[in-house]
Chain A
């Protein structure tokens, strides 16, 4: 483990000619949206077909207020209008949204960097109790070029709905992040 950390730090120091994607005035963007009309038919006639209209919108945007520090907003909007073999259509809606903060610890021109941050989200749902999620996270990021980076994020979430249940979770995500320079 010690050898891996030393190798990582040496590589971070040597690869220092990125295009400074994390400087003041740049943007960090991500997210997607999906809408579908679906119809499901079952092999056995005893089960009535189901159909629905569903949507999922998950934008995320951050702005670098100063070098290496970004603040942003993330949202997950989910809605379903469907019928599951019942005479009536059902509608469900949920929204999970809130701010996040992220700071990069190594010099801004490094191709390999390390970030840490925190986030808060509030959850609304048609039927379920509202809830709050508090998160802290950290991880490395590797910039392919001036716009795209691959990152690994490890974090802890504390989920507290109205009532007595509390959920704590540990998560690891690997994905791509897009940076748009001013």
Chain B
């Protein structure tokens, strides 16, 4: 364990050839949009449905190492079985996030901390969910545009009927687009 910590600290101190991905004016983008429509034939009867999920994430470095962004979202679910509609709902979401990188901007391996809030309203029923999260993480830049990052944090979702608290670890790719 001690060897792993020493290697990690050495990597952080020595890795100082990043290419300004955290500079003012850089964009941090991610997310996905998906539409699926399906039909099922089975001995129990036909089923069909449509789902839409749009979850972009857009951030902008307002100053070096500090990014502010938004997490909008839209979802739609329609499902029928034996020609009877079993679900038909959609929801809208929007909220800000903030992230600050703790090490010098020229490091290939960096650490960050941040927070986010998202407000979701769903129909039918006009249900409202508030989601708060706080996180820290590390990021390693492959090149000037792509990095792999690990995030760990705490998330809380509240609506009028239930509260869900979660400890979360995420790993994935992050894209940075530098201003030209």
Q: For residue A171, which residues in chain B have a CB less than 8 angstroms away from its CB? A: 34-37
Against A, the Cβ 8 Å flags (1 = close, 0 = not) of B142-167 are 11111000000001000011111111
B34 and A172 contacting across the interface, CB-CB below 8 Å: yes
Chain B stretch 40-61: residues in CB contact (< 8 A) with chain A: 40-44, 47
Q: Is the interface of A mostly helix, strand, loop or mixed?
A: strand
Stretch at the interface among A30-38, A70-78, A99-107: A30-38
B32 at the A/B interface (Cβ < 8 Å)? yes
B142 and A36 contacting across the interface, CB-CB below 8 Å: no
Q: For residue B166, which residues in chain A have a CB less than 8 angstroms away from its CB? A: 36-39
A41 and B163 contacting across the interface, CB-CB below 8 Å: yes
B172 and A32 contacting across the interface, CB-CB below 8 Å: yes
A92 at the A/B interface (Cβ < 8 Å)? no
- The complex places the Cα of A163 from the Cα of B173 at a distance, in Å, of 38
A148 and B169 contacting across the interface, CB-CB below 8 Å: no
B173 and A30 contacting across the interface, CB-CB below 8 Å: yes
Q: Chain B: which residue is nearest A147 at the CB level?
A: B145
Q: For residue A41, which residues in chain B have a CB less than 8 angstroms away from its CB? A: 162-164
B33 and A35 contacting across the interface, CB-CB below 8 Å: no
Q: For residue B162, which residues in chain A have a CB less than 8 angstroms away from its CB? A: 40-43
- The complex places the Cα of A39 from the Cα of B177 at a distance, in Å, of 37
B33 and A174 contacting across the interface, CB-CB below 8 Å: yes
A173 at the A/B interface (Cβ < 8 Å)? yes
Q: For residue A145, which residues in chain B have a CB less than 8 angstroms away from its CB? A: 144-145, 177
Q: In the complex where A36-B167, A38-B165 touch, is A165 in contact with B33 (Cβ < 8 A)?
A: no
Chain A stretch 68-122: residues in CB contact (< 8 A) with chain B: none
Against A, the Cβ 8 Å flags (1 = close, 0 = not) of B165-180 are 1111111110101000
Rounded to whole Å, the gap between the CB of A135 and the closest CB of chain B is: 12
Rounded to whole Å, the gap between the CB of A110 and the closest CB of chain B is: 18
B41 and A165 contacting across the interface, CB-CB below 8 Å: yes
How many residues of chain A have a CB within 8 Å of chain B? Answer: 38
Q: In the complex where A31-B173, A36-B169 touch, is A169 in contact with B36 (Cβ < 8 A)?
A: yes
- The complex places the Cα of A180 from the Cα of B34 at a distance, in Å, of 25
Q: For residue A32, which residues in chain B have a CB less than 8 angstroms away from its CB? A: 170-173
Rounded to whole Å, the gap between the CB of B177 and the closest CB of chain A is: 6
Q: For residue A176, which residues in chain B have a CB less than 8 angstroms away from its CB? A: 29-31, 175
Select which of A31, A42, A166 is within 8 A of B40 by beta carbon: A166
Select which of B30, B38, B145, B169 is within 8 A of A34 by beta carbon: B169
Q: For residue A164, which residues in chain B have a CB less than 8 angstroms away from its CB? A: 42-43
A148 and B39 contacting across the interface, CB-CB below 8 Å: no
B34 and A31 contacting across the interface, CB-CB below 8 Å: no
- The complex places the Cα of A110 from the Cα of B99 at a distance, in Å, of 35
A147 and B146 contacting across the interface, CB-CB below 8 Å: yes
Q: In the complex where A146-B143, A166-B41, A169-B36 touch, is A178 in contact with B173 (Cβ < 8 A)?
A: yes
- The complex places the Cα of A170 from the Cα of B172 at a distance, in Å, of 27
Residue pairs across A and B with Cβ atoms less than 8 A apart, 19 shown, are A34-B171, A35-B169, A37-B166, A37-B168, A38-B165, A40-B162, A41-B163, A145-B144, A145-B145, A157-B38, A163-B42, A165-B42, A169-B36, A169-B37, A169-B38, A173-B33, A173-B35, A174-B33, A176-B175
Known: A34-B168, A167-B39. 9 other contacts (CB 8 A): A35-B170, A36-B166, A38-B164, A38-B165, A43-B161, A147-B142, A172-B34, A175-B33, A178-B175
